[in-house]
């Protein structure tokens, strides 16, 4: 019998969305720095079917770009600035692929709710 999964009482929402731009690698890193052992983040598919870490269906709020995630190719999504809207210190933070986010989670030793 598999033992039940024991989740921590606090899981970083979209990384550390109150301290870094949500659903970015910077946000995942900040959650770990703050002591989170797990993070939650969202995934959508790009126009070419690549899984990308993004909550909203539209790009404008977190990147300033027009359009939908689902109609934008991954190469374009990966070039968008997903940090400047949150704070100028995060300018240049990119929209990560799911692969990049999972690599970051693994590197940081975090659990993930995707």
The residues assigned a catalytic role are: 13, 55
For residue 40, the number of C-alpha atoms closer than 13 Å in the C-beta half-sphere is: 9
Largest CA distance in the chain: 50
Q: Is 95 helix (H, G, I), strand (E, B) or coil?
A: coil
């Amino acid at each position: 019998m598999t033992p039940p999964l024991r989740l921590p009482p606090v899981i970083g929402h979209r990384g550390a969305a109150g301290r870094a731009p949500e659903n970015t690698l910077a946000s995942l890193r900040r959650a770990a720095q703050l002591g989170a052992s797990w993070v939650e983040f969202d995934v959508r598919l790009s126009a070419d079917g690549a899984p990308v870490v993004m909550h909203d269906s539209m790009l404008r709020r977190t990147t300033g770009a027009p359009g939908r995630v689902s109609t934008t190719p991954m190469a374009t999504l990966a070039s968008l600035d997903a940090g400047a809207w949150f704070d100028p210190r995060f300018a240049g933070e990119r929209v990560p692929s799911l692969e990049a986010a999972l690599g970051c989670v693994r590197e940081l030793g975090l659990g993930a709710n995707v």
